[in-house]
Structure 1
Amino acid sequence: MQIRNCAMNRVFLPIKTQAKTIARHFLVTATALSLIVPSAAITPAQAQQKKGLPLVRDAEAEDLMREYAKPIFRAAGLPAGQVEIILVNDKSFNAFVPDSRRMFINLGVIMQAKTPSEVIGVIAHETGHIAGNHLVRMRQAAANAQIMSVIGMIIGAGAMAAGASTGNSSIARGGAAAAMGGGALGQRSFLSYRRSEESAADQAALRYLNRVGVTAKGMLTTFERMADQALFSARYVDPYALSHPMPRARFNALQTKAQKGKYFDKADSKQLQLKHDMVKAKLLAFTSHKNTVYRAYPEKDKSLPAQYARAIASMRSERPAKAVKKIDALIAKIPNYPYFYEIKGQALLEGGKPKSSIAPFRKALSLYPGNPQFEIWLGFAMVASNDKKHLKEAKKILSSALRKDKYSMTGYSQLAIANARLGDIAGADLATAQSHMARGDTRNAQRYAKRAQKKLKVGSPAWQQADDILSVKVFQGARR
């Protein structure tokens, strides 16, 4: 399991009420709405800055999310492979779609959900936004809200200017209020639109769940939990200032319809429940202190997920030998579970035994051929072993993985080391450039790409890859 950062860049401008800065008011309104409107596509070149969105890469968790999502996407009529699910290292219960190709899900969704259907319900709701084309229409709604805001600002600016020219401070203050009121009017109009789209996504989610034979009980459980959490504060909140409907209102609107569904009383399969529990235990173990893990999964709990969590906690806090012993006990119970071998390899690799980690990583890959994350782990172990006999195979394996997983910083950095040790300096520079691009460091990526191009044959595939990096405009960031 690996964690990386991805920055979502937006422009923020300070609000000024003086007449001389009226043009800036328009920019403020536009950027304030960008907090609500899904952001423009986040390219890997702009991603993974130090202070950004912490993303998680884990083959087991990603595979489970794909298993949950595949039938829902099919029921919604989305082409296979269109939507990528990206895990965020955040324990709060949240998910969102910034465009029609990506769905971000916080680890908290998995960790707080007791059943698979709770997570599937979240995926179905977010799919409703994508299939309903809400993202495109939302931008139009935002544009309309901006127009309403600007009209109010222009009227207010005129009054402010008149007050300033006549020395009448009350007129000027009234103009300022009108200018700010115009922004509030536009925002309310937009938020009203958002509430209708959230309700539409709820209804779409029910349809998808019924089509694939999954109970809507999990989705109701999620909304009921949200409603219970909001009971105390709801009476003090202006419901029209919320970007989503009041949770209790959403729950009431869905409950009657959901209970009439054909599959409402259908339980999740035991096999899927076990997969969910295993991933849930794994995520808790990787993101929490050892004491927290042992409170959630005490020694008296002999279930497979509990043993899995304790083995990972041991890997992260104790000697590798002790962790490996616990992982081997898991392997003895389910010898063909590839993720156990992945964890064993990781424990050995991070414990300073890269040569010993090669065998379990190779075993994981034999049980799950072609998995790019397993290939990257294996290539990493081979390079870290510092054994020349593994370098050519490591290069081949890492190159294969990066054709399938183009944004792995670890994969590119290990390929760069392998190329350098093999004497392929141009290849090392190119891989280093690609690693910097995956990290979001465009300037250093272009520096290494330029170095690589000088040594590569003009027009070759590698030369073209370097040229692609050099053609990217350096992201300057927002100016205040």
Structure 2
Amino acid sequence: MINWKNFFSNYSFFPRSWFYPLISVTVALSICLTTALPTPALEWLPLLLRGVQVVQLSNMSARQEMALGEQINEQLINSDVKLYRNSAINSYVQQIGRRLAAASDRPNLNYTFQVVEDDGINAFATAGGYVYLNTGLLKTAENEAELASVIAHEIGHIGGRHLIKQMQRKAVNEGLLTATGLDASQAVKIGVELVRNLPSSRQNEFDADKRGLKTLSRAGYAQSGMVSFMQKLLSSKRSTPTFLSTHPATGDRITALQKSIAAQPSSRREGLDTTSYRANIRTLISRQ
């Protein structure tokens, strides 16, 4: 008998439209022909034969989460998110991102770090390892440690599976969850809506800060980078940056970070060289 669990693991979370119904029918026929089904199992046959794609948000695997993140990413970059295509800047950001990802809570995800062409000071993350950083944020950071601190914070959101949990709450509130899960297309739609309509919760921000600070430290960057970047933005004469206005309780977060650093200080001081950082983003700065 075919091991269907192993068979399905070789395919994408979002199968091709022609392929899923074929597999569904095949599975249903195989079950009927080879197994004496108890009554509850018969309830699955109509679902299989209809070829419905469903998502179980509560126990989603890493593979499924990465596939969901990919679908959300496609929606974003094909609509209102314009990626910055400079290869040198993207390579630099990806280098920092990979270093941090390896030191994160979930190092086995296939992370994707992308620069968004937008002068607003903002960054965000979706599901499955997708992190986005505005060009305005790169230009505002004073050194690599500050930039790394923002990336680490966003990786912290992924480590805490914050978007997935928000999606589950929204699906429940809107009555979209069924006994079998959530329709895949609805899952993508909800994910995109949540990304576009932050803020995140106070609890999620503190958790992402905590996880991000640990990641930053394990990667060897100066812990002070996370605090100094937030302080810089708070004291700025410009209007409140999106990165702070969508991430509430910034003053309290700074205090919590300072306490965490005092409790577990690190001697690593990498990433504080402003000259080196400016040299790495010179093609971006030259556009100002």
What TM bracket, shorter-length normalisation?
0.5 to 0.7
Alignment counterpart, residue 59 of structure 1, candidates 48, 73, 87: 87
State the secondary structure of the residue aligned to 1:268: coil
Kindly report which structure 2 residues correspond to 1:76-225, keeping only aligned pairs within 5 A, or say none.
76-79=104-107, 82-146=110-174, 194-225=201-232
| Conserved? CA contact 1:194–1:243, under 8 Å | no
| Conserved? CA contact 1:129–1:135, under 8 Å | yes
Distance in structure 1 (CA, Å) of the matches to 2:233 and 2:145: 16
Which residue identity is paired with 1:222? Answer: F
Alignment counterpart, residue 71 of structure 1, candidates 80, 83, 99: 99
| Conserved? CA contact 2:217–2:268, under 8 Å | no
Q: Deviations over 1:406-448 (max 9, x none)?
A: xxxxxxxxxxxxxxxxxxxxxxxxxxxxxxxxxxxxxxxxxxx
User: Tell me, which stretches of 5 or more residues in structure 2 are unaligned?
Assistant: 1-68, 176-196
Q: Deviations over 1:217-237 (max 9, x none)?
A: 11101211233359998xxxx
Kindly report which structure 2 residues correspond to 1:231-270, keeping only aligned pairs within 5 A, or say none.
244-263=247-266, 266-268=269-271
Aligned-residue offset at 1:128: 0.5
In terms of fraction of residues, the more helix-rich structure is 1
Distance in structure 2 (CA, Å) of the matches to 1:231 and 1:64: 27
Aligned-residue offset at 1:275: 4.5
Which residue identity is paired with 2:112? Answer: E
* CA distance 1:282–1:228, change in 2 (3 Å): same
Which residue identity is paired with 1:224? Answer: Q
Q: How many pairs does the alignment contain?
A: 196
Q: Deviations over 1:8-59 (max 9, x none)?
A: xxxxxxxxxxxxxxxxxxxxxxxxxxxxxx9961328x8446xx32211122
Distance in structure 2 (CA, Å) of the matches to 1:224 and 1:55: 28
Q: Structure 2 length as normaliser, TM-score?
A: 0.58
Q: Deviations over 1:422-479 (max 9, x none)?
A: xxxxxxxxxxxxxxxxxxxxxxxxxxxxxxxxxxxxxxxxxxxxxxxxxxxxxxxxxx
Larger relative contact order, structure 1 or 2 (CA cutoff 8 Å, min sep 6) = 2
State the secondary structure of the residue aligned to 1:86: strand
Distance in structure 1 (CA, Å) of the matches to 2:200 and 2:92: 33
User: Tell me, which stretches of 5 or more residues in structure 1 are unaligned?
Assistant: 1-37, 148-189, 234-241, 289-480
State the secondary structure of the residue aligned to 2:271: coil
Aligned-residue offset at 1:111: 0.8
* CA distance 1:136–1:247, change in 2 (3 Å): same
State the secondary structure of the residue aligned to 2:277: helix
**Structure whose CA Rg is larger:** 1
Distance in structure 1 (CA, Å) of the matches to 2:258 and 2:238: 17
| Conserved? CA contact 2:143–2:272, under 8 Å | no
Distance in structure 1 (CA, Å) of the matches to 2:246 and 2:83: 25
Aligned-residue offset at 1:123: 0.6
Q: Deviations over 1:243-301 (max 9, x none)?
A: 5322112111211212444326725375xx5552123321021x33xxxxxxxxxxxxx
| Conserved? CA contact 2:121–2:134, under 8 Å | yes
In structure 1, the residue matched to 2:285 is 284
| Percent identity for Structure 1 against Structure 2 | 23
Alignment counterpart, residue 74 of structure 2, candidates 28, 43, 61: 43
Q: Deviations over 1:66-101 (max 9, x none)?
A: 221222111114346711111111122211012223
Aligned-residue offset at 1:114: 0.9
